[in-house]
Amino acid sequence: MRTDETSVDRTTSGTARPRVWLVAAVCGSAEPADRPAVRDDLMRMWRPGHDDLYRTVDGRRCATWAELRERFDLVEVAS
């Protein structure tokens, strides 16, 4: 599945659907160019920070995109 900003998944009615990333071994796949906010399979919201890390909304956890991909199934949060 492509994860760049030009690949928006659309339904037959033309509305955009959130992207999904399933757990994957570290394989060097690039972070999406648009750095979306995502929710993991434990229902924690992760938002990109200014330091190339994703942080939970409560600020208690941080991880790189690669770490998130390795540990959790992720769903893009529609803004």
- Please, which pLDDT band fits residue 5 given cuts at 50, 70 and 90? very low
**Cα-based torsion angle of the residue sequence 20, 26, 30, 36 in order, rounded to the nearest 10 degrees:** 40
Nearest to 19 by CA among 59, 35, 66: 35
Global model pTM greater than 0.75: no
Per-residue pLDDT reduced to its tens digit, 14-44: 667 889 888 876 666 678 899 999 999 999 9
* pLDDT at position 16: 79
Task: Tell me the C-alpha distance between 63 and 23, whole Å.
Answer: 15
